[in-house]
Amino acid sequence: MVWAWSGRGTGELSRKIHRYVRREVLRDGDRPRAILLNNWEATYFDFDEDKIVSLFDGARDLGMELFLLDDGWFGSKHPRDDDSQGLGDWQTDPRKLPNGLEVLPRKAGEKGLRFGLWFEPEMVNPRSELFEQHPDWLIQQPKREMQLQRNQMVLDLANPDAREFAFRVLHDTLCANPGISYVKWDCNRYLTQPGSPSLGRDRQSHLQVEYVRALYGIMERLAELHPGVEVMMCSGGGGRVDYGAMRFAHELWPSDMTDPVKRIFIQWGYSFFYPAMAVANHVTRWGKRPLKFAFDVAMSGRLGMDMDVDKLCCGDRAFARSAIEAYKGIREVVQFGELYRLESPYDGGRSSLMYLRAERAVVFAYSPSEAPAAPLRLKGLDPERRYHVREINLPLGSRGVRRTVEGRSLMETGLPLPAFGPFGSGVYEVVPEP
């Protein structure tokens, strides 16, 4: 159990929890998180070495720092061309990557990028060599037909051999490829028919406890042996975000829903329990929202992109480059600052929040629909100081809001904001006068 108390509402409560999580839960909670490009929504399973390497150039051009190769890089006899086969066979697919996996971290490094890789080590497809060789390694109940979810089953981690296999999947790959510095740890189905061939008849009720203990044991060994490798907990989007699992990770994937309109609500909920540095937010094409709106929403956490940057038009590419540069300028305020939730997305057409660090603040305001012009009251500032307010992440050529205001006025009267149309948004930097 984790207990916290506040005499001044949920804002103070979550700020206390954020400090605790950065200090006691997250790995490297004092280190800024990198800006990431993921290939999943750019290519899905359809890629080869040339395509992935081409994305490196786009990532570097936009100012990215880390590239993540997602699902689909493995399988020989049963190549991972869709989600129906290959899970469990963690050898590089020779058709997609004829030069092996090791060439990709090297080529990414030549472009100034770190390299990350997707794993789902606890899972197996029936169409896999692992299943053919070890059908007894699966969680299952005797005399019952297997129930597949996403065409896959779960390895019985209560079985020492299956547990060692899951550990070796990651450990051996990381040892053979020291250029990999990031892992996306996925888990895309939950347990059904909870039976363990490795446990006795009188210990079947122990399975789910033994499974979690074994899983945490694997994660702990990997963290000790590969301390420089960052881990994202994905688990189908939104799973394994408990503080127990997150002791072994750096960040979480809050949801597979990446439409920024939905993400405003999703990220608002997570903000009660996790600091922004732990919440991975990616700019995607889901919902077909304006690119600025998508960036503004994603910039309030750990920023990333999940799209084919080769297909961006010149204007979108220029804006994305500018937005990433703007995020670098506010990253430490967002990732380490104290959070103040200002306007709830559940209460009206506009929602807003701000981060404050060393008297420097960053304010985010979003409007999924329409919102009239109205002042936005800030919090946490010094009422006696004057602050320069500057709108950032603007469309190229725009000027936006610029003013100098006393802290007391910003908190009592508010920062005047214009009317927002559907999918309108603004990001404002608030800096005290010297």
Per-residue pLDDT at 245 = 96
Residue 403, H or E segment: strand 402-406
Listing DSSP states for 222-244 in one string gives: HHHH-TT-EEEE-TTTT-S-STT
pLDDT in tens, the chain (434 residues): 899 999 999 999 999 999 999 999 999 999 999 999 999 999 999 999 999 999 999 999 999 999 999 999 999 999 999 999 999 999 999 999 999 999 999 999 999 999 999 999 999 999 999 999 999 999 999 999 999 999 999 999 999 999 999 999 999 999 999 999 999 999 999 999 999 999 999 999 999 999 999 999 999 999 999 999 999 999 998 999 999 999 999 999 999 999 999 999 999 999 999 999 999 999 999 999 999 999 999 999 999 999 999 899 999 999 999 999 999 999 999 999 999 999 999 998 999 999 999 999 999 999 999 999 999 999 999 999 999 999 999 998 888 889 999 999 999 999 999 999 999 999 999 999 98
What burial class does residue 285 get, using C-beta atoms within 10 Å of its C-beta: 0-12 exposed, 13-18 middle, 19+ buried?
Answer: middle
Q: Retrieve residue 262's tokens.
A: 């939905």
383/406 Cα distance (integer angstroms): 7
Per-residue pLDDT at 17 = 98
Per-residue pLDDT at 425 = 97
Q: In 271-406, which residue ranges form alpha helices assigned H by DSSP?
A: 291-298, 314-336
Per-residue pLDDT at 189 = 93
CA-to-CA separations, 295 to 2, 133, 319, 325, in angstroms, rounded: 33, 46, 10, 12
Supply the residues annotated as catalytic: 186, 256
pTM: 0.96
Q: Given its phi and psi angles, is residue 316 left (phi above 0), alpha (psi -120 to 50 degrees) or beta?
A: alpha
Listing DSSP states for 144-181 in one string gives: S----BTTBEEB-TTSHHHHHHHHHHHHHHHHH-TTEE
